[in-house]
Amino acid sequence: MTSPKPLAGIRVLELARILAGPWCGQNLADLGADVVKVERPGAGDDTRSWGPPFVEAEAGGDLSAGYYHATNRGKRSITVEMDTPEGQATIRRLASKADILLENFKVGGLKKYGLDYASLSALNPRLIYCSVTGFGQDGPYAHRGGYDFMIQGMSGIMSITGEPEGEPMKTAVAFADVFTGMYATTAVLAALQGRQNTGRGCHIDMALFDTQIAVMGNQAMIQLLTGAPPPRFGNAHSSVVPYQVFPTSDGHIVIACGNDGQFRRLCGVLGTVWADDERYATNPARIVHRGTLIPLLMAETAKWTKADLLAAFEREVVPAGPINTLPEVFADPQVIHRRMTFDLDEPAAKGGKVPTLRGPIVVDGEPMVGRTASPGLGQHTDEVLADPNWS
């Protein structure tokens, strides 16, 4: 018999849409929480229409866009007219029973409905109330809306992403949104533990801008320590060499040597003596002389096929790997073994299934993934409002 998931019995009220807030909600659902997603009647979460592709319905039409299904599995959906007294009363009743509330309205947006933290914590002092905004609850930008692309531009990540002579580039995944959802998950789990000690909930203030700056990590340290902004290196690394894309006779691979021993083994595979050259023997020296070393390495790797070179590197424990397309990713034996994709039952979908990625958390051998497909708009309204756990 499977053990209960870690968050079994925890109730989450999600007043969030698009990505950062729902990503947090999906993480909590994967871990076993009962996540009730509150949506607007008619349209629902914006991402329901962010397609194609859409999940095809067995009876024709669709069951919302793939984007929506990427971040809402394992939840229940209700529809509520939040701008009506009746709708506000419904939210207050549900919040009085919730452990966690997630919202991503503009600062002050819920206060006019009496659904802000001060109002709801008076009803439920144990409520953990997590607000996700672009710029946080205070400061000169607090009133602004926040969008991932804009945040990537403002935070500095785009200034260091892309080829040196090219234009600044964003990441293909909504980096700021996803990281904010992950940090929000950490924050609410910490608040649950804190509540064990104090008996009270709290207000968590999550900002996309804060998050994106916080994850600049070692790149931010370059600026803080030297006073000079780090340049764009394309696929190369500012502090480690060789650590970039290299050509082979039939494509490209990644080589990621993190220490001098790995570089020496790389040179052994390639049949060179560069590891004994004082210009290249240590990582600091390789940083200084990358301009001469990298062309030498590229000339040697280009003599090999991808398969042969990767096999040789694996034998000698040199960190290297292929540059996969998504079809290659999902055909990879490690990905298949780890069951990174699931088909979730959904009778209304064409073929009765909806594909999903699982979250990366595994507890006692069990992958943590919500076992129900993303809900239809308002699918569980009657069920939730009659649920004794929520009334």
Point out which residues pair with 366 in neighbouring strands. 363
**Residues contacting residue 318 through CB under 8 Å, at least 6 positions apart:** 255, 257, 262, 265, 266, 269
Please report the sign of the dihedral spanned by the C-alpha atoms of residue 335, residue 337, residue 343, residue 344: negative
Cα distance from N-terminal residue to C-terminal residue, the chain: 30
Q: Is the peptide bond before 52 cis (omega within 30 degrees of 0)?
A: yes
- Which value, to the nearest 10 degrees, does the dihedral of the CA atoms of residues 166, 167, 173, 179 take? 110
Q: Is 197 exposed, middle or buried (0-12, 13-18, 19+ CB in 10 A)?
A: exposed
Indicate if 177 belongs to the active site: yes
Q: Are 208 and 177 in contact (CB under 8 A)?
A: yes
Among residues 45, 116, 177, 205, the one annotated as catalytic is 177
Catalytic residues: 177
